[in-house]
Chains A and B, each alone.
Chain A
Amino acid sequence: MLLLKLVQSLIKALHSEGTPGQLAAGLALGSILGLTPLWNIHNAIVFALIVVLNVSFAGALLGWALFVPVGFLLDPAFDWIGRTLLLETPALRPLWTALYNAPVVPLTSFNNTVVLGSVVFALALWLPLFFASRWGVVRYRATVAERLKRSALYRMVTASKLYNLYRLFRPEP
């Protein structure tokens, strides 16, 4: 079921009306949801950005789905990054102390090693991921997409009951 949803997201995103930039921005924002622990205030902000900014929602869902397992895999690295920044970089200690004693900021759990490490990693990855995915979407649409649409497999999938079921839930343009 998860795989089916992932394939649906992929098809929906790659073949949507959005520009490659919108799709790439959505995917990059969605990656933040996937890379960082979900139930945190910063992810509410990221979600609000996905909704308010004119980025591909389907791309964001795809980015989220793709990067959740990556987040689990990289948790030890996030822990190390967070520990280094919070405990082993004396120059940053005044900043953390100020943030820790400021209203609301501690509610983001920035002082957790995994949360801070994953957020820093996701933010650092954001721009490279944006440009890479935009280039990838452009190349895909220019080369593979048209050929794929003409392929027997695609026609078979799109003609299947499964695809019809998917179309029932497809958001209107």
Chain B
Amino acid sequence: MRVAVFRWKALVPLLIFGMVGLGVWLLFADRIATRTAESVGTTLVGAEVEIERVHLDLPHGRVEIRGLTVASPFEALQNLLQADVLVADVDPLPLLEKKVVIDRLTATGLRFGTARATDGRRGTASDGLMGQVNHWGDQLRVPALELVTGKLEVGRLDPAQLNTPRAAAALAARADSARRAWDASLSGLNAAAIADSARRMVEGLRGAKPTDVKLLGDARRTLGQLKQAQDRATALQRSVTTGSAALQAGAAGLADARQRDYAVARGLLKLPGLDAPDIGAALFGSVAVDRFQRALYWVELGRRYMPPGLLPRATPGPRRARRAGETVRFPREHEEPAFLLKTAQLSLQLGAAGAAPPRTYAASVSGVTSDPALYGRPATASAAAPGFRLGALLDHVRPTPRDSAAASLAGVALPSLALPSLPVRLEPGVGTMALSFSVQGDQVRARWTVQAERVRWTRDSSAAAAPSSIGDLVWRVVSGIPAVEVSASLAGTIARPQLAVSSNLDRALAERLRAVAGAEVAAAERRIRAQVDSLVDGHVAPVVAQVTALGGDMTRRLGGQQAQLDDARKALEQRLRDFTRLPGVRLP
């Protein structure tokens, strides 16, 4: 039976099914686009992206986004930005290649740093790019002013870190080994037996005939044994003397090891630097590092999603029930990039909350693309208004990326700053704040400055730092200073940057702190030395006693045996001399 290959009657239902499918897609296209945009945005930014509604008007190449909220990847309950409406003119043809080319984007009602009800951060502080940036920032953190809290913190002293117990144990082992060797040598001397044999020979010679040649030979052999035993005893004595001296030197070396242990323990004292630059870093370093960290996060994000060159690039695939895999892009010269935003006009509002009504500024962005090498021009952003300037350039067109950004605010209420470990808060009031950040290849250069002429200092009763006399001192110093100038700069490679912070508070505060810190530091050092002594004494004293006792004991025992041998030899030699003085007898 021949079976037909095609089921022609199914064509009509298939077409109907396809049309229904298309209708459903058109019906839900806006919702699908909303979810897709949220998912892609969240992956890109590393924080929750929420959109009220996306409307696709593909016949007119227009996409409208309403109610965009991007959570801050840094702050738990803060938004990075919110926008009322974004309208994008999209080129429809690249969509067939799954590429998005936006000719023009307008955004209105952009607001920054607004509050949100839930934590919008994705992942933890140690995950992915955020983890890398946090790790980078940690190496720049300077110890806070521990001294100012009224306590000098002493780290836990681990006995395993100390040298002296190890050295003492080694010395004890050497002493044991030497004792065993010397004991064996003493036993090997056999001095008592040889001396007894010599004494018996002396007795034997007493009544012997001078012509007894055999006895005379025996007496000469016994004398030889005595001499050999004496030689061995002398060699052993030299060995004991040298060995005892070495052991004594080892015991003296324990004192040096203890000094090294004091140094190790002193390293556990979290002593703050009291020079002016250290004080500046302790006061404002943390705030500056936060700013630099954020700038680096955006630069690294830009480098990740806007890489230079035309090599295939793999990015995580879409989230789905099945494994996401990786989606690989294959850019080619003279083709459209996978994403390109040619120009964007932004209307944004800036101003501190609770102060004067926020001002509205205009900004523009251009050349944001996933494939800078294809577009051939760097991405730029700029905004300018009275008292406000912003400029950014991300040049990933060439193999070595160059990123730089600078922003300054003048005549605007600046956000307050909490000084670490101090119950003091700085309200800068109206002032000037500037941040510049530049990364070329792996070289980073950044600067953050704050200038405020009429600052207000407030005591922060809720601060974690406990009240202390030194905290009071700091309060007295800073509260009399009406203006603040802070400058933090960063330079070097991204892997090993150097941070320098200075402020007009540094010198005044450093001098006062140095005056009161000396006594605190000395007391802390005494405590740590006592802690070392308590851990070391139990190991050192028995070993020193063992070494001292060993030298004396061996000398005494060896001396006794040498005396026995000497006496026996003298007696035997005397007897032999008497024996050979007999007339007519000559010793052979």
Point out residues on A near B: beta carbons under 8 Å.
Answer: 19, 21-22, 37, 39, 48, 51-54, 71-72, 75-76, 78-79, 82-83, 86-87, 93, 96-97, 100-104, 106-107, 109, 111-115, 117
Once the chains bind, are B3 and A101 in contact (CB under 8 Å)? Answer: no
| Closest chain A CB from B144 CB (angstroms) | 47
Contact of A109 among B3, B327, B332 (CB under 8 A): B327
Check if B60 is an interface residue, CB within 8 A of chain A: no
Chain A residues whose CB sits within 8 angstroms of the CB of B13 once the complex forms: 51
A113 near B322 with CB under 8 A, answer: no
Selected contact of A97 from candidates B99, B317, B332, CB within 8 Å? B332
Counting CB contacts under 8 A, is B184 at the interface?
Answer: no
Given A19-B3, A86-B312, A101-B335: A111 touches B329 (CB 8 Å cut-off): yes
Contacting residue for B330 out of A103, A109, A111, CB 8 A:
A111
Contact of B4 among A54, A106, A112 (CB under 8 A): A54
Known: A101-B335, A103-B97, A106-B98. A114 touches B3 (CB 8 A): no
A75 to B332, CA, bound (A): 29
Tell me how far the C-beta of A62 lies from the nearest C-beta in chain B, rounded to whole angstroms. Answer: 18
By the criterion CB–CB under 8 Å, are A111 and B322 in contact?
A: no
Q: Is the CB of B330 within 8 A of A72?
A: no
Taking Cβ atoms with an 8 Å cutoff, the residues of B that contact A are 1, 3-8, 10-11, 13-14, 17, 96-99, 312, 314, 317-318, 320, 322-330, 332, 335
Show 11 A/B contacts (Cβ-Cβ < 8 Å), sorted by A. A37-B320, A53-B5, A53-B6, A53-B7, A76-B323, A79-B326, A83-B325, A93-B312, A111-B328, A112-B325, A113-B317
Main secondary structure of the interface of B (DSSP, over half): loop
Q: Which residue of B lies closest to A19 (CB)?
A: B3
Contact of A96 among B10, B99, B320, B328 (CB under 8 A): B328
Q: Which residues of B contact A109 (CB under 8 A)?
A: 327
Interface centre among A75, A97, A117 (most CB of B within 10 A): A97
Assess the A101–B325 pair: CB atoms within 8 A: no
Known A100-B97, A111-B328; further 11 A-B contacts with Cβ < 8 A = A39-B320, A52-B6, A53-B7, A79-B323, A96-B328, A101-B97, A101-B335, A102-B97, A113-B314, A113-B326, A114-B322
Min CB gap A21→B, angstroms: 7
A21 CA / B13 CA spacing, docked (Å): 24
How close is B154's CB to chain A, nearest CB, in angstroms?
51
5 pairs of A and B residues whose beta carbons are closest in the complex: A114-B325, A106-B98, A75-B323, A113-B325, A100-B330
User: Whose C-beta in chain A lies nearest to the C-beta of B326?
Assistant: A113
> Distance in Å from the Cβ of B252 to the closest Cβ of chain A?
65
CA distance A72 to B10 in the complex (A): 31
Q: Is the CB of B3 within 8 A of A112?
A: no
Per a CB cutoff under 8 Å, which of B5, B10, B327 touches A112?
B327
* CB-based contact A112/B326 at 8 Å: yes
Q: How far is the CB of A166 from chain B (nearest CB, A)?
A: 23
Q: Contact: A52 with B317, CB < 8 Å?
A: no
Within the complex, what minimum Cβ distance (angstroms) separates A117 from chain B? 8
